Structure formats: C-alpha cells, structure tokens
Amino acid sequence: LENFKSGVDYEFDFLFTNNGSSPASLEKRIGRIYVGKPDDLEAQKEIAAKFESDWKKESMLGPPQPISPSSPHYWSENRNLTDLELGALLHKGNTVYAVSRIEYSDSTGKWWSDRCEHFQLSNNVLSIHVTHPCLLLTNDRYPAKAR
C-alpha cells in the first residue's frame, strides 16, 4: 500500500471476451474503481449503488464497436485516489474494487455483462496480483434494462 499516493492518476485495465460463437457489437461500457472493505456484503451494496448511478450518468455512448468471438478486448480507465480513500486503504483495512459493465448486442438481442472484483488485502498489504470476486455485480449475461 505504500506505493499508492493521493492525487496520482493510476491506470486500470478492464477486460472482456465475447465467449459466443458469433460476432457482437459493443454498445456501451463503463469501468470504475472504488474503495471499500474487502469481502463485505454491505460495502459491496454501497459500491453497487454508486456504480448504478455512475452507469446512468457516465456510460460510454458512441458508434457500436465490433467484438469478435473468442478474442479478448480491454479498455483502460484512469483514477486517482483521494486523501480520504488513501486513508481508508492504509488505516481502515479497505481495498480497491474494480467494477465494469458492458452493453452489447448480438443476433439474440441486447445484453449486459457485469464484472466486479477486488484486490486481496492481507496484513495491510494489497496484492494487485490476487483478486476476489464480489458478491454482487457478477452476472456474465443478462438482458439489458432500459434507462
């Protein structure tokens, strides 16, 4: 955790793969970084609420982008941590959550795919190579909802 500093832009990559056998089109996407207690349902409920609000306000809109089957894709988001978030990481046992959603369409309809994971925290050391799945926002494919 000593390496994180407030006010510094960190780049986070968000990955996804079209696991189907047909091409699809990426319609919208969003990736967000939050700070919260690890493996904690209440913290994840708060993060999920913030994420839904961010999705409604800030999801990427633009021309659809082709998504080939079985080919990994990614995008990056920059995020800097506030002094409050850094304090929560250093002194309150919190960790970093990466949450993403893509909206895509294929021959069967329009779908959302959610992914949420957080970095392992052990003895106040944040391991960026070990992640845990969230209890919420982990649905790989479900019908897109109207805004």
Give the model's pLDDT for residue 4.
76
Can you give the pLDDT at residue 47?
97
| pLDDT at 6 exceeding the cut of 60 | yes
Cβ-contact 110, 143 below 8 angstroms = yes
Distance between CA atoms of residues 93 and 135, nearest Å: 18
pLDDT over 90, % of the chain: 59
pLDDT digits 0-9 by tens, 86-113: 889 888 889 999 999 999 999 999 999 9
User: How does residue 118 score in pLDDT terms, banded at 50, 70 and 90?
Assistant: very high
pLDDT at 1 over 60: no
Which tens digit of pLDDT belongs to each residue from 12-56? Answer: 999 998 888 889 999 999 999 999 999 999 999 999 999 999 999
Fill in the amino acid letter for 21: S
Mean pLDDT of 2-11: 80
Contact yes or no for 137/99 (Cβ under 8 A): yes
The Cα–Cα gap between 25 and 63 comes to: 9
Average pLDDT over the chain, rounded to whole? 89
